[in-house]
Amino acid sequence: MSAGEKDGSVDRINGIKSTLRVVPDFPKPGILFLDITTLLLDPKAFKDTIDLFVERYKQRDISVVAGIEARGFMFGPAIALAIGAKFVPLRKPKKLPGEVISEKYVLEYGTDCLEMHLGAVEPGERALVVDDLVATGGTLCAAMNLLERAGAVVVECACVIEVPELKGRERLRLHGKPLYVLIESRFEPTSC
């Protein structure tokens, strides 16, 4: 499901979309990088982004918002604060102090790993996973695995942007979980 299907959301979505920028050939040639930092420079658009997520989740009994390092940290905490949920950072290896659980996942070339604190999440908790963007869905699946290994129920994954060609939505569907995004990517590079 994407936002924009209710009255009042459409204008906010258009405003948010207009603040995003595409940076070509980053981090390597051929990649059109979708940059959310210009959204963060627009207080109204940033507030609208958070409000759209909060409106969707505030009555869903979400007790945990898990944010993926590092851009998930820019959106997750504000959502958690507004809905009264805990915020749990999911981090690259060796960043979290103390006892962690780790989930390895496969990249195009090689593997990576996501970690969560032991005890951050309890069995039966209802969790939302937040990141700025979903591409292949590999990182989101690793995040969901961490939360489920700790006994939580993942209610949904929420991102600002989806890159449909990379089929993250289908990958999450295989995992049995829905995806909610505000915007689908476009590929025309825009000037800032």
| Binding-site ranges for other proteins (CB under 8 A) | 21, 23, 26-27, 33, 35, 37, 40-43, 46-47, 50, 69-71, 73-75, 77-78, 80-81, 84-89, 91, 94-98, 117, 120, 192
Q: How far is the CB of 127 from other proteins (least distance, A)?
A: 13
Closest to other proteins by CB, 82 vs 175, is: 82
Which of 71, 91, 169, 171 is an active site residue?
Answer: 71
Q: How far is the CB of 112 from other proteins (least distance, A)?
A: 15
Cβ atoms of 130 and 159 within 8 Å: the answer is: yes
Q: How far is the CB of 10 from other proteins (least distance, A)?
A: 22
Which of 5, 99, 108, 188 is an active site residue?
Answer: 108
Closest to other proteins by CB, 120 vs 154, is: 120
Q: Which two tokens stand for residue 150?
A: 């700790």
Active site residue 5: no
Hey, how many other C-beta atoms are within 10 angstroms of the C-beta on 106?
12
Active site residue 71: yes
Residue 25 gets the label, from left (phi > 0), alpha (psi -120 to 50) or beta, of left
Closest CA to 90 of 64, 116, 124: 116
Mapped onto helix, strand or coil, the DSSP state of residue 167 is coil
Quote the CA–CA distance of 64 and 114 in Å, as a whole number.
17
Annotated catalytic sites, by residue? 71, 108
